[in-house]
């Protein structure tokens, strides 16, 4: 567990945004990413009959579709213990292997930070 007060303010912000997306939309996961200019992209799980995307992959797709060329950080709020390999790969594709991926529980407490690598 990470003391959220020890997080960088910008990281705390994306944790809050991801948690809000999860709660507002009533989805299993919420996610947020921050691009190289400081812009944030927030998403929830997409679960349509014809399209299924995790919240983190959706947030990365939103960043790409908006013209982001790199990522500074990513967060997923989930009941799962960690970020999936597929989610980390999406972050790595845009941000590189050293991009931090914060994994927080539904209460917003960051449980772990891994790299996209």
Paired tokens of 108: 């917003």
Q: Report pLDDT for 1.
A: 57
Compute mean pLDDT per 10 residues along the chain, 117 residues long, and list them. Answer: 76 97 95 97 97 98 97 97 96 97 96 95
DSSP letters along 29-97, please?
-EEEEEETTS-EEEEE-EE-SS-EE-HHHHHHHHHHHTT---EEEEEEE-SSSS--HHHHHHHHHHH-T
pLDDT score for 84: 96
Q: Can you give the pTM of this predicted structure? A: 0.93
What's the confidence (pLDDT) of residue 6? 79
Q: Are 54 and 87 in contact (CB under 8 A)?
A: yes
């Amino acid at each position: 567990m990470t003391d959220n007060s020890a997080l960088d303010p910008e990281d705390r912000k994306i944790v809050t945004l991801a948690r809000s997306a999860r709660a507002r939309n009533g989805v299993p996961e919420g996610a947020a990413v921050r691009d190289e200019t400081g812009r944030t992209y927030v998403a929830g799980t997409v679960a349509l009959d014809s399209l299924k995307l995790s919240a983190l992959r959706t947030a990365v797709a939103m960043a790409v579709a908006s013209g982001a060329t790199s990522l500074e950080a990513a967060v997923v709020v989930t009941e799962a213990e960690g970020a999936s390999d597929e989610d980390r790969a999406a972050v790595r594709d845009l941000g590189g292997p050293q991009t931090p991926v914060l994994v927080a529980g539904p209460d917003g407490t960051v449980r772990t930070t891994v790299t996209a690598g």
